[in-house]
Homo-oligomer: A and B are copies of this chain.
């Protein structure tokens, strides 16, 4: 049995690049998307498309109703800020999102007998989310290996975060080299029209800055 991995795939640039990296290493991949009631639902379609064109074994979309819980501009009726990244943790932070995403991935990985969980977390050009930091990922890994049959019976899980210390420009550079088509990724938190990005939210700004840094052209359509 060759190397197998489960890739958390949101449909954004980072997770799509993360999948391409795992595939480029000859790893058989399964991919998982989390439908958490996000307003920007097109990202789920992008994830399913990327899963297909990148040749994953199986793609699964699991629903969990975080909108019921509230507390984020991404699921509740709160306004997404039209500013660059701010100090501190922004209103677009979804409480527990990566914990829940990784937990569901962990459950499926145990069923699939997959030990490597790939996540496109990034702590350089990041948005101030605590659940994208290395210290969190290591703590999750430790917890996962106490929580599960596999982890307690000598088949430990490993959280792989190949993009963790890369700049956005480095991520795009690597992805383009691997043939990733960034036209079919979604980044905007607050799309003004279907398939059009606002260009102003913190997430769009980070993306645009990344393309600018490599002297490249973002293939997405922007309002501004």
Q: Which A residues fall within an 8 A CB radius of B?
A: 60, 62-66, 68-71, 89, 93-100, 103-104, 106-108, 110-111, 130-131, 133, 135-136, 139-140, 142-144, 146-149, 151-153
Contact = CB atoms under 8 A, between A and B. Distances in A.
Nearest to A94: B107
Contacts of A64: 62-64, 104
Contacts of A69: 60, 62, 104, 107-108, 111
Contact of A89 (B66, B131, B149): B149
Contacts of A89: 149, 153
Given A64-B63, A100-B100, A146 B152 contact: no
A97 B146 CA distance: 13
8 contacts: A60-B69, A63-B65, A69-B107, A71-B111, A95-B107, A98-B147, A99-B147, A139-B142
Contacts of A106: 95-96, 99
Nearest to A143: B139
A99 B153 CA distance: 17
A93 B149 CA distance: 9
